């Protein structure tokens, strides 16, 4: 036996066969397959006892049921958010924002765990203690107050009515700054429109009991009010064979469910409403209560002159005969209602548009009637009290105490230093650097302000610009509340309590402000005599009973709309088509300025022939405004939205695209006066010619998690916000954009 090549080969083959006969290879292969079960992103909740708790998601108004598991080592953790079948409005349903809320709660990649100081040069964060953070903010505030510059502090909040919003309002007033703005909401515009015509501010649409609904661009099924409640009601309403007319420039989800779709040119929805009003007034179809209303004759004359169907048809593109037919059907239907707002993309809408729709309801005489416009019953809550007036000029030139302030105007004035620069910015909830209004200006404002404090649960775009980031909470881990949702005919109150311990060192916005108030002492501490948000809520909800009981139930909902004669709170004591309230507010009483009227949107008023009008595409599968995008949302997005992996897809009418030499999937840049975003073209015949429709909620930058980072582009970077001529609120319903090819 020689040890030669052949012998070696025999030995080697024997060894290979022998190794395969041992468990080494099959076992390693088996375990490698099993290894895939334990990838770090595979959720692996600890085994433990199950518990359920009800709460409300204030961002969506949905009543949810939370599934908790109490593990031996990790303690109580939330494993699932599902619908609460007992909630009278949402009835067990959820939207993606509710179902995926847990993804934000336990997202170590983006949650702020402790107070962080950011080095402006390197952008690096350094952890400090809450005590150090409060000393730092308290010190700055005390320093500014001592120098007589308390009024230069700007605060940006999320929801004005929430307990945190109220605490922020009282904090700012007591500290001595009038510069406080909240996220602009359509609720404010609707309240103003209702107030202008009726003197009431808290109204809703009784869609459920209406047999004929005309919606003026309202995304009824894509983010109107509490979306789950609206969808549930819509399913029931459909069974009653009610008719829906949708007036808008895009075949949206709502339009697809409507019996009649009136495709109008961009920004002319309310013009169609006035056209219908003109038909009703002309043909004697207006209700008696309307013909005897204040300023009816003047309104009727204006309608005949400026809004006759022929003229409206010319401007809106909706054929005159269709306007007449819908107006007649609306007037003759026993229970008809016209609905307005909110605009897609969270746009608060234009007051003149809302007034036009409210006037149409006034002509129909449906105020306070079943299936009409309902005045919501007051909730009976004991509000924390009106904040004190601050005797200093507001940055945006707003009148003392006039609500609401325009966040964009505050930022623009502070940037210009007119009348003064901001001494400090406090962002108490929300993400203005991402969602604006006008994200570019808000980012510039935050970057240039001398000291920015952001209270936020996530390392978002705003946190990336803040000097000090304080860890905030989500609705699952801290006390918070919400009021009646937009458009709902019944008033409701939602209460969320901490279901698990707050993430790391997180505190609610209110608790952080209360701690800061205690630190500052004096008038600020005096205005906020609560040890915690829970205590403030106890005081607020006292008329509704025990807080603990209410929190366990998590909601209070008025059982049915309050029908009956409408209590007009106008100077004339009746419905006013010529609004004396509005005239007093704007100082304009002549030339029809106080009448419901239509103004050509600024986005359409100028620009060359190649420019297009851009509007948002609302979707419940994505996020709107301050709502953060969750990884789950990316999975349920419409197939077209991110068709090219990470690129945003915008909709353009095929004819418009052909004129611009664009085809399906063309790579383009959408540019407005304020920003630009890269996108791909999707040809959609349901999009009005001359328009670009862009999805919202995408395009998160620097500090998002690995799933949402860089997916699509940010609509709010391109959307140009302009102050509404009547309400002063920023609106971004339409933006003039140019589209150029790239690549």
Partner 1 sequence: MTTHEHGQEKRSKADWLLFVVGFILASALGFWLTPTILYAQKAQPFQFSHKLHLGEVGDEGCKACHPFRKDGSFAGIPGVEKCKECHSDDTLGDKPEEKVFVEQYVKKGKEVPWLVYAKQPSCVFFSHAAHAENAGIECTQCHGDHGKTETLRTYEYNRLSTYSRDIWGKSLMGLGSPPNRMKMDSCADCHRENGVRDACFVCHK
Residues that bind partner 1 (CB under 8 A): 1, 6-8, 10-19, 21-25, 27-28, 31-32, 34-35, 37-38, 44-45, 47, 49-50, 72-73
CA distances from 637 to 293, 622, 623 (A): 48, 7, 10
- State phi, psi for 613 to the nearest 5 degrees: -100, 130
The β-bridge partners of 263 are 248
**Residue whose CB is less far from partner 1, 24 or 663:** 24
Question: Contact at 8 Å (CB) between 57 and 82?
Answer: no
Instruction: Please identify, using beta-carbon distances, which residue of 32 and 122 lies nearer to partner 1.
Output: 32
In the complex, minimum distance from the CB of residue 80 to partner 1, in angstroms, rounded to a whole number: 13
| Least separation in angstroms between CB 500 and partner 1 | 17
Classified as helix, coil or strand, 399 is coil
Closest separation in Å from C-beta 130 to partner 1: 23
Q: Quick one: residue 436, left, alpha or beta (phi over 0 = left, psi -120 to 50 = alpha)?
A: left
Q: How far is the CB of 552 from partner 1 (least distance, A)?
A: 19
When the beta carbons of 17 and 609 are compared against partner 1, the nearer one is 17
- Which lies closer to partner 1 via its Cβ, residue 9 or residue 304? 9
Structure tokens at 558: 């008025």
Nearer to partner 1 by Cβ, of 12 and 584: the residue is 12
Nearer to partner 1, 3 or 239 (CB): 3
The minimum distance between CB 607 and partner 1, in angstroms, equals: 58
Compare residues 72 and 645 and give the one whose CB is closer to partner 1. 72
Structure tokens at 250: 């895009």
Smallest separation (angstroms) from partner 1 to the CB of 37: 6
Q: Token pair 């996108």 is at which residue? A: 679
* Tokens linked to 300: 């009727």
CB of 12 to partner 1, least distance (A): 6
Which residues lie closer than 8 Å to 278 by C-beta, 6 or more apart? 303, 304, 307, 308, 309, 312
Residue 34 beta carbon to partner 1: minimum distance, rounded to whole angstroms:
4
- Structural element, H or E, at residue 196: helix 186-198
- Name which of 25 and 706 has its Cβ closer to partner 1: 25
Nearer to partner 1, 50 or 606 (CB): 50
Q: 1 or 639, CB closer to partner 1?
A: 1
In the complex, least distance from residue 109 CB atom to partner 1, rounded to whole angstroms: 21
Task: Give the separation between CA 415 and CA 396, rounded to whole angstroms.
Answer: 11
Residue 291 tokens, joined: 């013909």
Do residues 156 and 184 make contact, with C-beta atoms less than 8 angstroms apart?
no
Nearest to 214 by CA among 276, 154, 157: 276
Q: Which is nearer to partner 1, 45 or 317 (CB)?
A: 45
For residue 44, the minimal CB distance to partner 1 (Å) is 5
Q: What is the dihedral of CA 90, 95, 98, 104, to 10 degrees?
A: -170
Measured at the CA of 241, the angle between CA 230 and CA 319, to 5 degrees, comes to 90
Count Cβ atoms below 10 Å from residue 217 Cβ, excluding itself.
Answer: 32
Q: How far is the CB of 26 from partner 1 (least distance, A)?
A: 9
Per-residue buried b or exposed e for 440-471, using 16+ beta carbons within 10 Å of the residue's own CB = bbbbbbbeebebbbbbbbbbbbbbbbbbbbbb
**Nearer to partner 1 by C-beta: 66 or 674?**
66
CB of 67 to partner 1, least distance (A): 13
339 beta partners: 215
CA distance 344 to 254: 12
What's the token pair of residue 296? 């009816």
Q: Between the CA of residue 75 and those of 69, 163, 500, what are the distances in Å?
A: 8, 29, 9
The distance of closest approach from Cβ of residue 101 to partner 1 in the complex, given in angstroms and rounded to an integer, is: 22
Least CB distance from residue 17 to partner 1, whole Å? 6
Of the pair 52, 301, the CB lying nearest partner 1 is at 52
Q: How far apart are CA 446 and CA 426, in angstroms?
A: 10
- Whether 196 and 581 have beta carbons less than 8 Å apart is answered as yes
- Which residue, 10 or 501, is less far from partner 1 as judged by CB? 10
Strand order in 243-248's β-sheet? 260-263, 243-248, 212-216, 336-340
What is the residue-wise DSSP string for 576-632? BSS-HHHHHHHS--STTTTS------HHHHS--TT-EEEEEE--TTS--TTPPP-HH
| Biggest distance spanned by C-alpha atoms of the chain | 122
Backbone angles phi, psi at 157, to 5 degrees: -115, 180
Between strands 48-57 and 62-71, the pairing is antiparallel
Distance of closest approach, residue 218 Cβ to partner 1, in angstroms: 41
Name which of 32 and 590 has its Cβ closer to partner 1.
32
Instruction: Give the CA radius of gyration of the chain.
Output: 28
**Which CB atom, from 2 or from 122, has the smaller least distance to partner 1?**
2
Q: Cβ of residue 187: shortest distance to partner 1, in angstroms? A: 42
């Amino acid at each position: 036996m020689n040890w030669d090549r052949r012998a070696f080969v025999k030995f080697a083959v024997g060894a290979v066969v022998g190794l395969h006969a041992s468990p080494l290879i099959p076992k390693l292969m088996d375990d490698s397959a099993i290894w895939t079960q334990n990838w770090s992103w595979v959720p692996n909740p600890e085994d433990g006892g199950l518990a359920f708790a009800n709460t409300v998601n204030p961002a969506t108004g949905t009543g949810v049921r939370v599934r908790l598991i109490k593990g031996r080592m990790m303690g109580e953790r939330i494993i699932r958010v599902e619908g609460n079948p007992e909630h009278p409005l949402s009835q067990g349903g959820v939207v993606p924002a509710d179902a995926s809320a847990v993804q934000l709660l336990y997202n170590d990649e983006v949650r702020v765990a402790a107070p962080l100081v950011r080095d402006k040069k390197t952008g690096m964060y350094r952890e400090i203690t809450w005590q150090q953070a409060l000393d730092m903010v308290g010190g700055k505030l005390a320093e500014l107050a001592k120098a007589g510059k308390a009024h230069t502090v700007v605060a940006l909040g999320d929801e004005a009515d929430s307990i945190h919003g109220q605490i922020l309002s009282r904090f700012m007033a007591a500290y001595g700054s009038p510069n406080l703005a909240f996220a602009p909401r359509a609720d404010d515009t609707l309240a103003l429109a209702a107030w202008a015509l009726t003197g009431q501010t808290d109204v809703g649409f009784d869609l459920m009991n209406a047999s004929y609904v005309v919606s003026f661009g309202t995304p009824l099924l894509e983010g109107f009010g509490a979306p789950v409640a609206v969808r549930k009601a819509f399913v029931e309403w459909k069974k009653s064979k009610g008719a829906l007319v949708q007036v808008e420039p895009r075949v949206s989800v709502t339009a697809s469910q409507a019996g009649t779709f009136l495709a109008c040119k961009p920004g002319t929805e309310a013009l169609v409403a006035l056209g219908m009003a003109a038909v009703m007034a002309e043909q004697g179809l207006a209700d008696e209560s309307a013909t005897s209303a204040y300023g009816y004759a003047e309104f009727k004359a204006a309608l005949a002159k400026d809004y006759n169907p022929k003229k409206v048809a010319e401007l809106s593109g909706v054929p005159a005969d269709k306007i007449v037919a819908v107006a007649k059907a609306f007037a003759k239907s026993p229970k008809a209602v016209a609905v307005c707002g909110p605009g897609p993309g969270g746009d608060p809408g234009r007051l003149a548009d809302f007034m036009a729709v409210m006037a149409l309801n006034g002509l129909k005489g449906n105020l306070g009637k079943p299936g009409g416009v309902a005045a919501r019953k007051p909730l009976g809550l004991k509000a924390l009290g009106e904040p004190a007036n601050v005797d200093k000029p507001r940055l945006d030139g707003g009148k003392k105490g006039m609500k609401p302030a325009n966040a964009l105007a505050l930022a623009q004035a502070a940037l210009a230093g007119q009348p003064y620069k901001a001494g400090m910015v406090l962002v108490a909830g929300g993400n203005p650097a991402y969602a604006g209004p006008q994200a570019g200006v808000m980012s510039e404002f935050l970057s240039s302000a001398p000291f920015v404090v952001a209270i936020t649960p996530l390392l978002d775009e705003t946190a990336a610009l803040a000097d000090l980031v304080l860890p905030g909470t989500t609705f699952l881990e801290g006390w918070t509340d919400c009021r009646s949702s937009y458009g709902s005919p019944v008033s409701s109150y939602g209460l969320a309590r901490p279901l698990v311990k707050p993430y790391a060192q997180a505190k609610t916005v209110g608790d952080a402000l209360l701690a800061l108030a205690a630190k500052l002492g004096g008038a600020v501490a005096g205005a906020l005599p609560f040890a915690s948000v829970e205590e403030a809520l106890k005081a607020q909800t006292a008329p509704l009973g025990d807080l603990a009981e209410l929190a366990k139930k998590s909601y209070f909902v008025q059982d049915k709309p309050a029908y009956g004669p409408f209590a007009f709170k106008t100077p004339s004591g009746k419905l006013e088509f010529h609004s004396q309230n509005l005239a007093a507010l704007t100082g304009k009483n002549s030339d029809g300025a106080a009448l419901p009227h239509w103004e050509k949107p600024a986005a359409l008023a100028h620009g060359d022939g190649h420019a297009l009008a851009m509007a948002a595409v609302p979707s419940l599968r994505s996020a709107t405004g301050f709502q953060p995008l969750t990884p789950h949302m990316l999975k349920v997005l419409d197939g077209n939205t991110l068709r090219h992996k990470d690129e945003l897809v915008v909709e353009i009418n095929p004819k418009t695209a052909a004129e611009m030499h664009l085809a399906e999937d063309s790579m383009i840049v959408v540019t407005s006066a304020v920003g630009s975003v890269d996108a791909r073209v999707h040809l959609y015949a349901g999009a009005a010619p001359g328009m670009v429709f862009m999805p919202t909620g995408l395009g998160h930058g620097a500090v998002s998690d690995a799933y949402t980072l860089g997916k699509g582009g940010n609509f709010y970077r391109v959307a140009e916000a302009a102050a509404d001529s009547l309400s002063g609120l920023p609106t971004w319903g339409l933006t003039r954009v140019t589209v150029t090819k790239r690549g």
